[in-house]
Amino acid sequence: MTITKNSYTRGEIAVLLLLAVFIAAALLYLGVQYYEQRQGRVGEPLSQFTYGQSFALGVVEGVTEFLPVSSTGHLELVSYFLDMQTPEAKRAVNAFNIVIQGAALLAIVGLYRKRVGEMIYGLFNRNDSGRKLLINLFVSFFPAAAVGLLFDDMIESYLFNPAAIAGALVVGGVLMIWLERRQRKTNGTGGLEIDAMTWRMALIVGIAQIFSMWPGTSRSMATILGAMIAGLSLPAAAEYSFLLALPTLGAASLYKLAKEASAIFDFASPGVFTVGMVVSAVVAALAVKGFIQFLARGGLAPFGYYRIILGVAVLWLIS
């Protein structure tokens, strides 16, 4: 999938409008819920997810998962401001959020089915470029996987809070703006394509992905910036980040589902759970299509400014 500088087509406009409808519906629901809580009308501790909450979380996950703005940070903030903060509810929400990330991967499989097919053939030594890409993805995946297995509980205990998330949003935003300006001065819009990537470059991306375990940092941001530092062009870095999500988020979702299945289904019926996953997959597909078109026009800097504004707003609200 390439990025062009042409004007938006009717199909792309339709995609963006549909995405806007999803976002507006989720924001309306979240706004009403938050208002009612502030008025004291919804003061009961969360005992089970509703379809509306599952829909809203699915939209937030789908929109933010592959954008460099931190899906985990956004989901955690939504949970916080909807008062899903009892120990049992918090555990269920965190697990629910990670599992529905897996549904968003369907968008990547569909949009990048050619690359996925090449990797499948490469697994059986029938496609050299696909095998090379598969090896690079494993190299990038391994560092964060090892750290996650060792420190998962510690990360959830100390970093899943609004202040830590807001700080990561601001720092990440500043870093994005600085790095993009630096890249434009030194390399212009140039850089290598995915097929030219070496395992050493893949390792740089893998080390960068470790930092995304801090909620609010963003896996997408860390891997895109890591790939750009390694020498990939911005479009290639974005595509590699999307593909790296397949093993990374897939493994995280399966691990969390196996570990927290009882906590999730105590709070979410199968129907509610399904709504979150379906909405996440549909919205993620729309968001990725919009994102890759936007990169050609605005680059990463607008997302950096958004992160800074959101982080400062959150710090102000919780103060």
Q: What percentage of the chain has pLDDT greater than the value 90?
A: 26
Rounded to 5 degrees, φ, ψ at 192 are -80, 160
Q: Name the packing angle between helices 162-187 and 301-318 (round to 10°).
A: 160
- Per-residue pLDDT tens over the stretch 174-211: 999 988 888 777 655 568 899 999 999 999 999 999 99
Between CA 319 and CA 311 the distance in angstroms is: 12
DSSP conformation class of 232 = B
* pLDDT at site 21: 58
Residue 28 has pLDDT above 80, yes or no: no
* pLDDT at site 200: 95
Reported as type and span, the H/E element at residue 65 is none
Residue 123 has pLDDT above 80, yes or no: yes
Rg (CA), the chain: 19
Higher pLDDT, 14 or 125: 125
For the segment 246-264, the average pLDDT, to the nearest whole number, is 81
In terms of Cβ atoms closer than 10 Å to its own Cβ (0-12, 13-18, 19+), residue 207 is: middle
- Show Cβ contacts of residue 252 under 8 Å, excluding neighbours closer than 6 positions: 98, 101, 102, 148
Ranked by mean pLDDT, the top range of 54-58, 151-155, 200-204 is 200-204
For the segment 96-117, the average pLDDT, to the nearest whole number, is 84
Residue 276 has pLDDT above 50, yes or no: yes
* pLDDT at site 4: 40
Q: Supply the mean pLDDT for the chain.
A: 80
Q: Which of 67-71, 100-104, 197-201, 307-311 has the lowest mean pLDDT?
A: 100-104
